[in-house]
Amino acid sequence: MIPGEVLKHLKRVGVRLTPQRQEILQVLWERAQAGGQPVNAEEVMKRVRKRYPAISLDTVYRTLATFTREGIVNELQFKDQSRRYELVIQGEHHHHLVCLGCGYVREIAYCPEDIIKRVRESYTDFKIEEHSFTIYGYCAECRED
Amino acid sequence: MIPGEVLKHLKRVGVRLTPQRQEILQVLWERAQAGGQPVNAEEVMKRVRKRYPAISLDTVYRTLATFTREGIVNELQFKDQSRRYELVIQGEHHHHLVCLGCGYVREIAYCPEDIIKRVRESYTDFKIEEHSFTIYGYCAECRED
DNA sequence: CAATGAAATAGGAATAATTCCTAATTAGGA
DNA sequence: TCCTAATTAGGAATTATTCCTATTTCATTG
């Protein structure tokens, strides 16, 4: 089930709850339940099409952008050039460990908050909005040595 | 002048020193001298063409990939979808503060080494190769409030 | 519960960034 | 100087994302 909170939030900020958006949310939710591997737009489209065959890729992109703007979704940009998305779980914050071989993503709970705080204090004219921290390497299956 | 060390390194690892590569290196070097704002491939091509009009974009991409592989260049991927590159200055390591308005990049010296260490220790089956840490926000000129 | 208007959608075209392909050229060791 | 594997130019192809526009629809209001 889609978290009721999210639906309430969308309603509150005046984002219409179309069936397409509900399906996309559903797909993201299922993904989060099934291990939290981030998805790209293409993948979201494929999954949504199983239940809603007419959805366009453009709608998926627009919706993901809207959800990102509303803080419901995180838009991730790794080195592999395609954006991936993950549902934001309430009050949770994490970073990623990405395998350069297979692309598998693991969450890491640590966050360099101390550095962000220091940067905020030393660059007072810069208004910090967000940050990304990603560690790349090779997982057990992909490493060669 | 291009750092002699880099040329030596390329020779040592068997990477041919073509005029195209020298020009690209020169451009990256000049960029580093002039404040260190990272460049994308298109920009590198434009600059190289001033002195070497025939160079192709493909060559620029290939060369930047080669340099990255050799550790001479850092390939950066910010949220704006285009890759940017910067010359690696010997023994120096830094991260970035990026303006979401104008794209201006500032270097930050702090690095979350402690976290990387901890991750290395707790995920022993994962072979860490690199990491990226970027703070996004708005610079003095672009912030609205 | 029907009308209405702004918001959202489908579908395809357009754009942007990057990579691929191939014949021709060239660096640099022998 | 010769030779060969590495590299290049140029354009085509691919991939990811955004734009465009006519049509549809949500959800508010009467």
* pLDDT greater than 80 at residue B79: yes
Q: What are the residues with a C-beta under 7 Å from any atom of nucleic chain D?
A: A 11, 16-19, 40-42, 57-58, 61, 65, 81-83; B 15-16, 18, 20-21, 52, 54-59, 62-63, 66, 81
Which residue's CA lies closest to nucleotide C19 at its C1' atom? B58
The domains found in chain B, sorted by start residue, are 1-92 (1.10.10.10), 93-145 (3.30.1490.190)
Residues in chain B: 145
pLDDT at B129: 95
Provide the number of CB pairs (under 8 Å) joining chain A to chain B: 110
pLDDT at A97: 97
Strands (E), B45-94: 73-77, 83-87
CB contacts of B143 in chain A (<8 Å) are 125-127
CB atoms within 10 A of CB A90: 8
pLDDT at A111: 98
- How far is A54 from B3, CA to CA, in rounded Å? 57
pLDDT at A144: 81
- B41-68 core/surface letters (b: 16 or more CB in 10 A; e: else): bebbbebbeeebeebeeebbeebbebbe
pLDDT tens by residue, B24-62: 999 999 999 999 899 999 999 999 999 999 999 999 999
Separation in Å: D12 C1' and B44 CA: 22
CB of B119 within 8 A of CB of A108?
yes
Element housing B133 (H / E): strand B127-138
- Inspect the interface and report whether the beta carbons of A132 and B134 lie closer than 8 Å: yes
CB of A139 less than 8 A from some CB of B: yes
Average pLDDT of each block of 10 consecutive residues along chain A (145 residues)? 82 93 96 94 96 96 97 94 92 94 94 98 96 96 85
Mean pLDDT of B111-127: 97
- Inspect the interface and report whether the beta carbons of A135 and B127 lie closer than 8 Å: no
pLDDT at A1: 60
pLDDT at A113: 98
- How far is B145 from B142, CA to CA, in rounded Å? 10
B139 touches strand C (CB under 7 A): no
Percent of chain A as helix, strand, coil, to the nearest 5: 40, 20, 40
